[in-house]
Chain A
């Protein structure tokens, strides 16, 4: 199947998730869609699969414009999707899952399991997808569950397979066998759209690479492109960020991490022996492609994720494995990566959100009763000082724009008496004006002689803010560099090369 997307645009309110995306997938081609988390890849695929309706643009299948109104239509058109999170019934067998919704029936409307099982055996054999049709899904390893998803798509005669971050959940061995499956599918004439943010896989398997960032196609590349070229395309360079900084004059060491090991939600090692230190009056920028353990590292610092081994200390005091409350009270400020999930209660007012993590501090409350007058006075002051654009301090935070929501968090954190600031992707999804504002606040915090750790996958942000830059790759710090190094060197480090290999 030849699939062509022309000018696909999808907006969610003020956010443009997909902006004029065009790409073509040729029959038998493995087309890789490369981009960071939040770049708009999944939105595009959901549009293509009929789960979302595009605001603009058209989809052409074999040269013919089609309207894909729902996922059933997509399936009939020969599009199959393997979701990042599998859509399987854990207690059903492989056969039952594959035929679910499209069961072959014999007389009296009984499901013809015999025929279904035979169909699956035939398909498995044809595409080298070895899986036992009678096995129960919950007993299968993740790699085999994914094969079932692929089988399910193939059983509906899919000619185009969308694989959404298929390797995110797999072990290296499973990734290798997935790659083989993808090659054999392509050889059989199936087109594959392979969505990922992992550079190595793209280079290993893709025929054509389309890189998207902030919802736009920023370039296409051949698999022969180097990883640093791909990395710099992914993290971008179009926004020039310049922040006035006072001269770098580091004081004593305020924050230290030694040999930290942290697990992710699946119990795999996400942070693998990280050591770093931050000094007073310094911004340490932690660069790296998303998903290399930064999230888990930050969660461990702020007490939201247990530390397996290693230590974290602030002013020489051990703060490893504190509860979030104790970490907050120790003076750790936190600008979370997912502001709507961890940073705000959207249904509550701006004023309430400004005291979200200090509701019991004087003068906001005394003897268990909140002093709403003091809270409101404080909110009025912060809304003014931080230029938060809201109709009222009593307005629900959900009514604010993304940039102003982030300002609420920045105002809250920087107005507490902080010893150390941890900011994760502090400007993701913000407009240029808000980005500049947030950067200025972070730099002022630094100029006052405080230490900060800024985690970002935006190269420009890292270079603009960092006094020193650590690059994280697969759970480790692969290099620490000055902000004067070339983008290419950082790009190489982000792709997992060592400092020696990059010659800086």
Chain B
């Protein structure tokens, strides 16, 4: 086949035209931004007004195009400067040595949002690799957050003991919730999607109960606010409290989780069992793998990481839990499902996907405040990217990508059957 013959001169270009998962993901990102352009152009009042002008004569066309480009450009510029860096501010800091905290704030915010998201998404990804759908990571994170915060707020001891124990309590809380769907699936065959989904409601009710009851409720408060973490149990800002940058030691926790997940999936015997079970349950059984054990352990690890993400979220940002903890758009356990899918369930892939999602969220807030374009646009772009990643055939067709054999993109979509 002629289109497979790539001369050395074109080898560089061929990297961008092959349909390897990484390339497809990159093109899906571009398509997501294109969808964003269409939405900005069709929903922003100023743009629509400008286009109305063309009904009065063709002179209106350049004006309309100009307004469109301005609005789209402003939206994406504000998204970028709000989440990564403002080039002007960066240049200012570089030349004068002043204003570094301000210049680094966008990046710091993105990393702050990404940290718990990375941890919980890796938990979801490990379950996916085992062929299990953990839709309940959010609930596991909520309970992990409650357990960790309870331990971290009611006791006082040296940081070197208190903080690790607080994080461990979060892991234990998540494991406890994760164990339920694991045990139910292993021993009764109950489908984990239903059980984990329903447990999100259970854990939400537990949250509401906890933040309104002694001893967890903030003393002297009638509102739904829990106790504040003892200073010995928080993940302190990396550059000190005076810098104003929120980025905390939590990113080291995330880094440890990434290394652990890499070891588990790529190097450990247990992870090998997980992956065999996820890829071919029949062969797993014939190879002597105890499916019950694998299901329970995968859910314990997945839930444990979700719980850790919950407590990291508290310990690195608010330091207390209220009734809105991980609710709605803050529900990182739900975002984690799409992040894991986008990262193809691999630790490093998930890191990049989580950074992207965090940047879109943080940048979207900046865009909203400066241009008035709603934050929901960021969510639409996130969703569009995932939709395109989930339909590689469409992306390949749009960009006429050459076919290379790959099985990895479909990985996350196995396992619904029984």
Tell me the nearest residue of chain A to B410, going by C-beta.
A347
Tell me the nearest residue of chain A to B287, going by C-beta.
A357
* Contact A324 to B288, CB < 8 A, known contacts A341-B283, A344-B283, A345-B279: yes
Given B267, B272, B290, which contacts A325 in the complex, CB threshold below 8 Å?
A: B290
Residues of B within 8 A of A341 (CB): 280, 282-283
Cβ < 8 Å to B, chain A residues 358-415 = 359-360, 365, 368-370, 372, 396, 398-399
Is A345 a contact of B407 with CB atoms below 8 Å? Answer: no
Query: How many residues of chain A get a CB closer than 8 Å to chain B's CBs?
Result: 33
User: Quick one: CB contact mask for A61-76 with B, threshold 8 Å, 1 for yes?
Assistant: 0000000000000000
**B156 at the A interface (CB under 8 A):** no
* Contact A323 to B290, CB < 8 A, known contacts A368-B269, A372-B267: yes
Residues of B within 8 A of A159 (CB): none
User: Quick one: CB contact mask for A300-330 with B, threshold 8 Å, 1 for yes?
Assistant: 0010100000000000000000011111110
**Chain A CB within 10 Å, residue with most, of B276, B289, B407:** B276
Tell me the nearest residue of chain B to A299, going by C-beta.
B286
Is B267 a contact of A369 with CB atoms below 8 Å? Answer: yes
Main secondary structure, interface of A, reads: mixed
**Chain A CB within 10 Å, residue with most, of B282, B285, B288, B289:** B288
A342–B269 Cα distance when bound, in Å, is 20
* Contact A302 to B286, CB < 8 A, known contacts A345-B276, A398-B407: yes
**B208 at the A interface (CB under 8 A):** no
Residues of B within 8 A of A368 (CB): 268-270
**A241 at the B interface (CB under 8 A):** no
**A348 at the B interface (CB under 8 A):** yes
* Contact A365 to B269, CB < 8 A, known contacts A323-B290, A325-B290, A345-B276: yes
Residues of B within 8 A of A40 (CB): none
**B263 at the A interface (CB under 8 A):** yes
Q: Chain B contact residues (Cβ within 8 angstroms of A): what range?
A: 20 to 34
Cβ < 8 Å to A, chain B residues 57-104 = none
A334–B275 Cα distance when bound, in Å, is 21
User: Quick one: CB contact mask for B179-208 with A, threshold 8 Å, 1 for yes?
Assistant: 000000000000000000000000000000
**B2 at the A interface (CB under 8 A):** no
Is A370 a contact of B286 with CB atoms below 8 Å? Answer: no
* Contact A346 to B272, CB < 8 A, known contacts A302-B286, A370-B267, A398-B407: no
A324–B290 Cα distance when bound, in Å, is 9
**Chain B CB within 10 Å, residue with most, of A302, A326, A345:** A345
Is A344 a contact of B288 with CB atoms below 8 Å? Answer: no
Main secondary structure, interface of B, reads: helix
Is B275 a contact of A328 with CB atoms below 8 Å? Answer: no
Is B269 a contact of A396 with CB atoms below 8 Å? Answer: no
**B405 at the A interface (CB under 8 A):** yes
Residues of B within 8 A of A360 (CB): 269
User: Quick one: CB contact mask for B241-277 with A, threshold 8 Å, 1 for yes?
Assistant: 0000000000000000000000100011110110110
Residues of B within 8 A of A396 (CB): 405, 407
Given A324, A346, A369, which contacts B287 in the complex, CB threshold below 8 Å?
A: A324
Is A336 a contact of B286 with CB atoms below 8 Å? Answer: yes
A338–B283 Cα distance when bound, in Å, is 10
Q: How far is the CB of B59 from chain A (nearest CB, A)?
A: 52
A96–B270 Cα distance when bound, in Å, is 49
Residues of B within 8 A of A359 (CB): 269, 272-273
A372–B263 Cα distance when bound, in Å, is 12
Residues of B within 8 A of A133 (CB): none
* Contact A343 to B279, CB < 8 A, known contacts A368-B268, A369-B268, A399-B405: no
Q: How far is the CB of B412 from chain A (nearest CB, A)?
A: 13
User: Quick one: CB contact mask for B386-416 with A, threshold 8 Å, 1 for yes?
Assistant: 0000000000000000000101100100000
Is A370 a contact of B282 with CB atoms below 8 Å? Answer: no
Tell me the nearest residue of chain B to A365, going by C-beta.
B269
A419–B128 Cα distance when bound, in Å, is 37
**A356 at the B interface (CB under 8 A):** yes
A342–B282 Cα distance when bound, in Å, is 5
Q: Footprint of B on A, CB under 8 Å?
A: 302, 304, 323-329, 334, 336, 338, 341-348, 352, 356-357, 359-360, 365, 368-370, 372, 396, 398-399
15 contacts between A and B (CB under 8 A): A323-B288, A323-B290, A334-B286, A338-B282, A341-B280, A342-B283, A342-B286, A343-B286, A345-B276, A345-B280, A356-B287, A359-B273, A368-B268, A370-B268, A396-B405
Of all A-B residue pairs in the complex, the 5 with the closest CB atoms, nearest first, are: A325-B288, A357-B287, A342-B286, A324-B288, A347-B407
